[in-house]
Homo-oligomer: A and B are copies of this chain.
Amino acid sequence: MENDFRSPLEKGLAAFDGKWKTRIICCLSNNGSLRYTALKKELDGITDAVLALTLKELTDYSIISRTQFNEIPVRVEYDLTKKGIEALPILKDICQWTQKYNPKSEQVRCGCGRPDCKFDLKTN
């Protein structure tokens, strides 16, 4: 692994970067442990290539954990780590900061991107 000269701020924001990372975090915060296929069903429109890559990135950031059960067929579960759980209040703050200055926006509360999503970012 090569050196990373970004500031802590930029390193931190990288964990929420891209189209899918916050949606995955949101799904896990709403549902708890989720399997690969369940996650894929929640994240409407994501492809395998991108889902696998994004899960790997979040795992590398220690925001989610990957647990493999060597059954047949294989079962893999993804969870928020302690670091991931501690990110949730920050994401909530961003939501509130946005809504404070965007009062007209519909009160979509979840970051998963599904228009029919009923969930909120759970912080406890």
A105 x B9 contact (CB < 8 A): no
Complex interface: chain B residues within 8 A of A108 (CB): 7-8
A11 x B102 contact (CB < 8 A): yes
Instruction: Determine whether A93 belongs to the interface, using a CB cutoff of 8 Å to chain B.
Output: yes
Return the chain B residue nearest A108 by Cβ: B7
Most B CB contacts (10 A, CB to CB) among A16, A110, A115 go to: A16
Instruction: Determine whether A34 belongs to the interface, using a CB cutoff of 8 Å to chain B.
Output: no
Instruction: Determine whether A22 belongs to the interface, using a CB cutoff of 8 Å to chain B.
Output: yes
23 A/B residue pairs, CB under 8 Å, sorted by A: A4-B105, A5-B115, A6-B113, A7-B110, A7-B112, A7-B113, A8-B94, A8-B108, A9-B91, A9-B98, A9-B110, A10-B22, A10-B113, A11-B98, A11-B105, A12-B94, A13-B13, A17-B17, A62-B101, A83-B101, A87-B97, A90-B90, A90-B94
